[in-house]
Amino acid sequence: MLLAIDIGNTNVTLGTFDNDALSLTARISTDTNKTSDEYAITIRKILELYEIDYRSIEDCVISSVVPAVGSSIGKAVSMLCGVVPLEVGPGVKTGLNIKIDNPAQLGADLVAGAVGAISSYTTPCVVIDMGTASTIGVIDKDGSFIGGVIAAGVKLTLKALTENTAQLPSIDITAPPSVIGSNTVDCMRSGLILGTASMIDGLLDKIIYELGEIPTIVATGGLSKDIIKYCNHEIIYDENLLLDGLKEIYNRNK
């Protein structure tokens, strides 16, 4: 059984693959203060919760945008399962042709998402990932990663609003009944949800213009499902895109 782990700034997503079938997905909070011992206990408890014996984990692949947590979780998996995880980074075969100014700068999460998209969808393809940051990766018709967009994520924007203003409250992230809010909370919801959807639509219009053709558009990440239904473009939601990409990367290396 393969354990795939995607480490983001807010959440760590775990998945187990029994051959090619995804048998488990779970999320825990990213915590830079946790030790490798604590992460080992957490991972073991999650596997036990889903009735998976940690001793059945034969290998592991990790993508991480938080180096300290990536190191701790890598050590945790080694202690728990007796395997050395494959971590996505320089020297790892991904099959992805990266055509940006400095390919080494491309985040492991963007690599995993692009690989997952290429393996499952037709190109050209645009991958939207909404987490702490909202990112858009663009893959051309030849399957090359040619660049993208990075913007502040919805929760990060909400945090900036509430922490840097005197009268704006913290709110739950749900859509308002209309774009024109009649109270402070609905006005904030309009800006966060509908504003983000409008930003995505606008960026997609410009990306399509530059590509000169209509791409497959795929979205992943915790908040994507709640945002893309307010977009005008046809967008496929794929919750496990990064985990599938990690499995493909693992297969290329093992």
Q: Is residue 253 part of a domain?
A: no
Residues 170 and 237 in one domain: yes
The amino acid present at 63, given as its one-letter code, is S
C-alpha 56/C-alpha 83 separation (Å) is: 11
> What would the two tokens of residue 223 be?
């908040």
Contact in structure between 81 and 36 (CB atoms under 8 Å): no
Residues 110 and 60 in one domain: no
Residues 127 and 202 in one domain: yes
Reported as a single tens digit per residue, the pLDDT across 93-138 is 999 999 999 999 999 999 999 999 999 999 999 999 998 899 999 9
**Nearest in space to 123 (alpha carbons), one of 217, 40, 22, 229:** 217
Question: What pLDDT, on a 0 to 100 scale, did the predictor assign at position 168?
Answer: 87
Contact in structure between 114 and 101 (CB atoms under 8 Å): no
Q: Is residue 174 part of a domain?
A: yes
For tokens 């499952």, what's the residue? 120
Q: Is residue 191 part of a domain?
A: yes
C-alpha 240/C-alpha 170 separation (Å) is: 29
Residues 76 and 101 in one domain: no
Q: Is residue 254 part of a domain?
A: no
For tokens 């889903």, what's the residue? 50
Q: Is residue 250 part of a domain?
A: no
* Domain, as residue range, for 61: 2-87
Q: Identify the DSSP state of 229.
A: T
C-alpha 95/C-alpha 191 separation (Å) is: 39
The mean pLDDT of 180-201, rounded to a whole number, is: 96
Last residue of some domain: 87, 116, 139? 87
Reported as a single tens digit per residue, the pLDDT across 1-39 is 999 999 999 999 999 999 889 999 999 999 999 999 999
**Residue 109 appears among annotated catalytic residues:** yes
Residues 138 and 236 in one domain: yes
The pLDDT-based confidence of 166 (bands split at 50, 70, 90) is confident
Q: Is residue 169 part of a domain?
A: yes
Reported as a single tens digit per residue, the pLDDT across 43-94 is 999 999 999 999 999 999 999 999 999 999 999 999 999 999 999 998 899 9
Question: Which one is catalytic: 6, 59, 109, 186?
Answer: 109
Look at the chain and report how many structural domains it folds into. 2
Question: What pLDDT, on a 0 to 100 scale, did the predictor assign at position 5?
Answer: 98
Last residue of some domain: 87, 115, 149? 87
